[in-house]
Amino acid sequence: MEEGGRHRNAASVALALLACGCAIGVREPQLHEPVVPFTAAPADSELKVHMKSGELVVLRHWQAAGSGDRLTGEGQAYTVTREKRGAPGRHDIALAEVALVETNSPETVTSAGLAIIVATTTVLGGITGYCAINPKGCFGSCPTFYVLTLDGREPERPQAEGFSESIARVLEARDLDALEVARPGGTDVAIVMRNEALETHAVRRVRLLAAPRPPGGRVLAGADDRLYPARALLPPLECLAPEGDCREALAATDGTARVSPADGGDLATREVVELVFPAGRGSRGVAVAARQTLLSTFLFYQTMAYVGRSAGEFLATLERGGPEAGRRALGMARVLGGIDVEVAEGDSPWRAIGSFDEAGPIAGDRRVLPFEASGSGPLRVRLRLTRGHWRLDSVTLADLGEPVLPFRLEPLFVERGGQRDEGARTRLLEGARHVVTHPGDAYRLTFRLPPSEQPLELFLESEGFYYEWMRGEWLAEEDSAMAALALVDPAGALRRLAPAYKTQEGRLEQAFWASRFRK
């Protein structure tokens, strides 16, 4: 069922409940002289027969008997003090002994007060129930990781950001990031995990993966998280982007990125970058190093702003809906997509070899997309990507070896505020519960590398999810129609949001880095 349809159904159920809740059933008694037939009293309705003696007989099934001077039926008799007289059974009553007959018509009265109470019970009770079952989901957003230099300094920019797409528990995921650093075997590596945003992070695991570099080469992570030794990384011979020659920008992973402006009419507009590499034969891979621009972040924040005061309900719906609802919630990100890579050799046709789709605008990542080269001619590589969505750092050709199994290392120490935090370490090791962090929190994790003759290439594996905090200033943009559009028609939303994004595109990066939250 479409998201919009489910919302409509939920709204209908809520309205029905409210309608029932506001309408309170009451009985209005009507008195009749003891002469059948009694007005508005079908034979299967309840009849209260008030006897001249003050006694009462409540009949559930009854009929007139004799020549209309008697009533017979099933029911219960009561004394004048309303104690039960005998067991329920059949009664034959002479109308001459009856003072009055009472029927009751069911009616309803409405009360705005009860509507308020039903609505409050639904909302506050729902939140309380959800939070009691899932405390971290309520009280507990994407952690950043900084690898300390050999002399213990923390770099200005993080080398990795964990599970950026896991914006709700239902989207909890494992993420692998290339740290782009190597360390000698047998040494300790210290990594600082920070929460630098108005988010709540729930981190289940943090592991360091280490694999020996081949002589003069690197180890690269594939899109399937397997690690490949790369003996050489060749820069492109040619590179053509819509703006012209892009060879210099994409030759090496040096932080100099190629980025294009987003389309002013449709944020999903795609572009093509074509590269040429020398011919090769055997196991090859196209290595792409990139990070997202702040387009995806803008869209996420804008969606949260449109949801506004219903953000809690939105997230609860997401959690209830499972992974499929989660994927739908990321609809605009899905439409923007990754960097689709195709290759062709000589005059052979294009073939797709995979996509680079690492989420997050904070730390770049590098992935290799393996393929088998025939050596039949120069290798042509074609990238299809959404304009303004990616900061392309490098696109190189790797000569790959067979995948290797890395050392998978758990943190040896976990420190917070200079003190060992065994509780946090235990949680990260066991993976059964989360380490929950709030804005400004920082944990230092120390890993001990195994002995190795070759320097060890490092990767960070993190697992968890996060919740974005609502900002007071976002509430001014609350717009349920746009929130619904983002969920139901993400492509349409990307067209509607294009002008707004273009007015901010040039200054988003600077503003984002200026907003880091540190204690």
Partner 1 sequence: MRRPGSASAAVALAALVAWGCAARSPEVYGRTVTLIPVESSAPKVKGELLAVDQQRLWVRTKDGVRDFAPASVREVRVRRHNLTGGWARRWGLVGGLVSGVALTASCSSVEGNDVGGCAAVGGVTAGLWALVGFLAAPSLEASSQLSVDPGSARLKPYARLPAGLPKDLAPASLEQGPPAPK
411 vs 191: CA distance, rounded Å: 10
Asked whether the bond before 37 is cis by omega within 30 degrees of 0, the reply is yes
Burial of 512 per CB tally in 10 Å (0-12, 13-18, 19+): middle
CA 375 vs CA 202, 350, 402, 462: distances in Å: 48, 15, 19, 38
Q: For tokens 């389309």, name the residue.
A: 263
The reply to whether 232 sits near partner 1 by the rule CB under 8 A is no
Count the site residues for partner 1 by CB under 8 A. Answer: 67
The reply to whether 42 sits near partner 1 by the rule CB under 8 A is no
Min CB(292)–partner 1 separation in Å: 29
Q: What is the distance of C-alpha 405 from the center of its chain? A: 31
Considering only the stretches 52-60, 265-273, 290-298, 369-377, report the one whose residues sit in contact with partner 1 under the rule CB under 8 A. 52-60
The reply to whether 491 sits near partner 1 by the rule CB under 8 A is no
Q: Which of 113, 152, 244, 451 binds partner 1 (CB under 8 A)?
A: 113
CB-nearer residue toward partner 1: 131 or 508: 131
CB-nearer residue toward partner 1: 8 or 320: 320
Helices (H), 259-310: 295-307
Min CB(50)–partner 1 separation in Å: 5
Binding mask 136-165 for partner 1 (x = CB under 8 A): x-xxx-------------------------
Q: Which of 121, 187, 256, 348 binds partner 1 (CB under 8 A)?
A: 121
Q: What are 453's two structure tokens?
A: 């003759």
Binding mask 321-360 for partner 1 (x = CB under 8 A): -x--------------------------------------
Q: Which residues sit opposite 212 in a β-bridge? A: 456
Q: Which of 319, 410, 478, 509 binds partner 1 (CB under 8 A)?
A: 319
Q: Which of 11, 40, 69, 82 binds partner 1 (CB under 8 A)?
A: 82
The reply to whether 52 sits near partner 1 by the rule CB under 8 A is yes
The reply to whether 10 sits near partner 1 by the rule CB under 8 A is no
Amino acid (one-letter) located at 296: S
Q: For tokens 């479409």, name the residue.
A: 2
The reply to whether 301 sits near partner 1 by the rule CB under 8 A is no
CB-nearer residue toward partner 1: 301 or 517: 517
Check if the beta carbon of residue 191 is closer than 8 Å to that of residue 147: yes
The reply to whether 168 sits near partner 1 by the rule CB under 8 A is no
Strands lying side by side in the sheet with 270-277: 244-245, 238-241, 270-277, 379-386, 339-345, 351-356
Is residue 247 helix, strand or coil?
Answer: helix
Q: Which of 94, 109, 412, 511 binds partner 1 (CB under 8 A)?
A: 109
Binding mask 417-446 for partner 1 (x = CB under 8 A): ------xx----------xxxx--x-----
Min CB(237)–partner 1 separation in Å: 53
CB-nearer residue toward partner 1: 470 or 508: 470
187 vs 149: CA distance, rounded Å: 12
The reply to whether 81 sits near partner 1 by the rule CB under 8 A is yes
Min CB(203)–partner 1 separation in Å: 12
Nearest to 363 by CA among 257, 233, 470: 257
Considering only the stretches 97-105, 236-244, 275-283, 332-340, report the one whose residues sit in contact with partner 1 under the rule CB under 8 A. 97-105
Min CB(333)–partner 1 separation in Å: 24
Amino acid (one-letter) located at 231: R
Q: What are 223's two structure tokens?
A: 């899109």
Considering only the stretches 100-108, 229-237, 255-263, 275-283, report the one whose residues sit in contact with partner 1 under the rule CB under 8 A. 100-108
Based on DSSP, count helices (H) and strands (E) in the chain, helices before strands.
10, 28
Nearest to 7 by CA among 304, 323, 472, 328: 328
Min CB(140)–partner 1 separation in Å: 6
Q: What are 182's two structure tokens?
A: 């190597």
Q: For tokens 């009360």, name the residue.
A: 111
Q: What are 51's two structure tokens?
A: 């006897």
The reply to whether 17 sits near partner 1 by the rule CB under 8 A is yes
Check if the beta carbon of residue 415 is closer than 8 Å to that of residue 173: no
Q: Which helix (H) or strand (E) holds 133?
A: helix 112-133
Check if the beta carbon of residue 332 is closer than 8 Å to that of residue 325: no
CB-nearer residue toward partner 1: 138 or 240: 138
DSSP for 221-264?
EETTS-EEEEEEEEPPSEEEETTEE-HHHHSS-SS--B--PPPS
Min CB(53)–partner 1 separation in Å: 6
Provide the binding-site residues for partner 1, judged by CB under 8 A: 17, 20-21, 23-31, 46, 48, 50, 52-54, 56, 58, 78, 80-83, 99-100, 102, 106, 109-114, 116-118, 120-122, 124-126, 128-136, 138-140, 316, 319-320, 322, 423-424, 435-438, 441
